[in-house]
Amino acid sequence: MASQVIESGMRIMSKKLFAEFLGTFALVFLGAGAIVSGKADLQGVAFAHGLAIFVSISALAGISGAHFNPAVSAVMLATKRICGQDFLYFVLAQLVGAAVASLAINYIYGHANGYGLPAIASGTSVGAGVLAEILGTALLVAVIFGVAVDKRSVAASHPGLPIGLTITAVIFSVGPITGAALNPARWFGPALVSGDWTNAWVYIVAPIAGALLAGFAYQAVAKPE
């Protein structure tokens, strides 16, 4: 009986990890791919990322919860919605998905348009970039909590649309400043392929800080069910 329980748990976890891999792959392949193709302006890049998240959440949320972002997984761990082991496995799957997507983009397009790597704009201070990533991610996570975590939401049955639209809107605002990664995995894939680790800490720390800020604020104020 114990072995059957363990085997069942492993099957469930493997499905969750595949969903996290696939969703993060889609985000990077479609989002960064829109940049690397050279055919999309800021609006096109914003909608590519938003649509990638919309369809991925719609397809995969029922399997893994559709984090697709280490910052989202971090706040789910901090608010005790996943355990430490699941967090580590989720983040690993997300990073691998981002890396594979970036490798595929590089193979298709070659060394073009900075590999789709988010970067702080020339003339923008690192501090401004950090604040932009914190606030952008905080807005995203606030919406995630509002429409996906809090089951009182009128959008609880279809959270992909408001979450995708939030990413699109944030990219309109933050994209010209930092590239609007909002997601350590979205930064990691192109960074790994390009070998460019400039301001790595910004794209790791700031999204996690923003996610934690929004998650705990929502917990304290709105008290999701």
> Which stretch of 105-109, 114-118, 151-155, 178-182 has the lowest confidence by average pLDDT?
151-155
pLDDT, position 146 = 94
Structure tokens at 219: 């917990």
pLDDT in tens, 201-225: 999 999 999 999 999 999 999 887 6
pLDDT, position 76 = 97
**CA 84 to chain CA mean position, Å:** 19
pLDDT at 191 over 80: yes
Question: For the whole model, what pTM was predicted?
Answer: 0.93
pLDDT in tens, 64-114: 999 999 999 999 999 999 999 999 999 999 999 999 999 999 999 987 677
- Asked if 166 and 143 touch (Cβ cutoff 8 Å), the reply is yes
pLDDT, position 5 = 45
Q: Which long-range contacts (CB under 8 A, 24 or more apart) does 163-167 make?
A: 163/53, 163/54, 163/57, 164/50, 164/51, 164/52, 164/53, 164/54, 164/57, 165/50, 165/54, 166/50, 166/139, 166/140, 167/46, 167/49, 167/50, 167/53, 167/140
- The mean per-residue pLDDT over the stretch 19-41 comes to 95
Pairwise CA distance, residues 52 & 31, whole Å? 7
> Which stretch of 9-23, 42-56, 124-138 has the lowest confidence by average pLDDT?
9-23
Pairwise CA distance, residues 33 & 193, whole Å? 13
